[in-house]
Each structure stands twice: as C-alpha cells, then as structure tokens.
Structure 1
Amino acid sequence: METEKELTTPPIDLSNKVGNGDFNATGQEFKRYFIELGRLQPSATVLDVGCGAGRMAMPLSDYLTLGRYFGIDIIEPSIEWCQTKITPTYNNFAFQHSNIFNRFYNPNGTILAKDYVFPFEGESFDFVFLTSVFTHMLPEDLEHYLSEISRVLKKGGVCFITYFLLNNESVELIN
C-alpha cells in the first residue's frame, strides 16, 4: 500500500524535469507566494501553465476547497501521473496534455507554441500562473502565451509568472 507521500510525490524521473530542489517544499513555498503576493483565494478558478507532475497542484489541493484547478503541460507522462494520482482524490483538479513541440521536453509535439490556443473559454480564470515556463521559450512564443493568458484571465484576475533571466544586470548581481 502506498503512503500519502508516495501518492503525492511523483517518481524521480518525472519530478526532476522541473529543476532541482525538494519537490514538496518548493510547492509549499509557491503556495505561500500565491496566497500572500497573488491574493489567491480558496474559491478561485486557477490555471497552471506548465504544471509538470503536480508540484504546485498538490499544495493547492487542500487550499482550493471551493475553487477549481486546471493544469496543462507538454510532458505527457507527467500529465498521466497527475490524472492517475491527483484527480481521483481531488475531483476539482483536472490535467490536460498540450502536444506542443519543444526539442528538449516534447520533440514529437505537433503544435508550435506560437500557434497554441489555450483550451479554455475567454475570461475563465481568476488566477493564472507559470513557474519558469518562459525560461524555456523564444520571444515570439512568449508573446503569444501572454496574449492567451490575457484572453483567459478574468477582469481583475491575477497572473503570477516566474522565470530565470540572465542579462547584464543579473550577472552583475550574481557576481
């Protein structure tokens, strides 16, 4: 029989696709940011673009008690794990594979990021977040995603985006 941690922590081959660090601790830290900085409410309808294997979904599962969560990602095994391990327990959490081409993460993808239309109606979400997705995107694709986020975000909604930026200023600060 699986323990609760085994049910909520994906296998290492899925969890290490999202960077270093403790999978669960990172998710809990971001949950705190979403609530404190992003004003995320328990009744929110949330879109996680680049949800991976549920690193942000699991901590939110005990918070979005009146809300809904939708996660999309280009790594199909991660989506399948979430659909098998998270959705059956938290039926207000749904996950969908987006077959977007990325030469590293999804080399067999059939859709270009600049052409991808988020599979949701306009003004569907109170809160949209992307954790380090833009780090892996080219400017044209990023601009298109911003347009899609704007389309699906409700008026007054919040978008929370993180990314790794290496430019002259950040290099100076690192040094």
Structure 2
Amino acid sequence: MSVGLKFRYAQRKDVSLILRFIKELAVYEKMLDEVIADEIMLEEWIFDRQKAEVIFAVVDGKEVGFALFFHNFSTFLGRAGLYLEDLFVLPEYRGKGYGKAILKKLAEIAVERKCGRLEWSCLDWNKPSIDFYLSLDAEPMSDWTVYRLTGDRLKKLAQ
C-alpha cells in the first residue's frame, strides 16, 4: 500500500465532495454534460436509501481518490458481488499506486463480505485504465454487451 494512505467511508457531510469527484470523473470521461446528479439526489440514494457506498483514499488528510460501489447479485454463483460504478484518482496523485490501492481495498471488502466477484465497466477508448486493469489480472468480459434503458425509453417500457 502507498505510504501514508488511509481509507474512510463517506459520511453524509461528504455529499458535496462525492459530487465533486463524480464531476471530475465525468470531465475525464468527456461526459460532464450527462451528469444530472446533485447533492440532494446523492444524499437520498447513498445515505437515506443506502443503495451505494463510497470510500475515499486519503493522504495527509486530503481525499485524493474515491470509489462508489454497490452490491449486485450473481444467480450462477448464488451470492452477492460488488459492482464498482466509479473509481477516480485526482490527476496529480496518479501513478503513485493509489488506484491500485483502492481496488485492493474493494477486493478486501468483497472477500470480507463473502462476495463472489468484483466487477466494473470501462470505456473502450480508455487505454490507460484498460492497461491498468489488465496489469491487475482483471479479465475483460468480451462476450458481454451492456444494454441500458434511461429517461423516456425507460418510462415507455414501464407503461
């Protein structure tokens, strides 16, 4: 683990910091215009409804990275897994092992909770992240395609 690195779970008072990390990740992914989340929404879904969790990587009292994750379920394994929705390390702290440390911490959480897997998605163009994940021995799921319904399409199907 990187020297001086600590982890802490997000608390309700961290909602603005969570949103700031989400927006910085969205800028990196060239998707800022898709972020509609606000502090009220995040507080409701993360803390009131407890549908996701956030950990921060902290160095010298400063949050330098974060991961937002939640439980999913594998019917084949018959147990829950952890799904990593977002992982982000501030640009000035990259290349120092913090991203790997965050993934290691998530793996520890998954094992501790007896989860069957840790999964995440990565944009096809994000070669630095893909190379990083491959270096950790992560397996790309090339036979699977993610499908999504949002907004009006989701509402239409629900009718």
Select the structure that is richer in strand. 2
Q: TM-score, normalised by structure 1?
A: 0.29
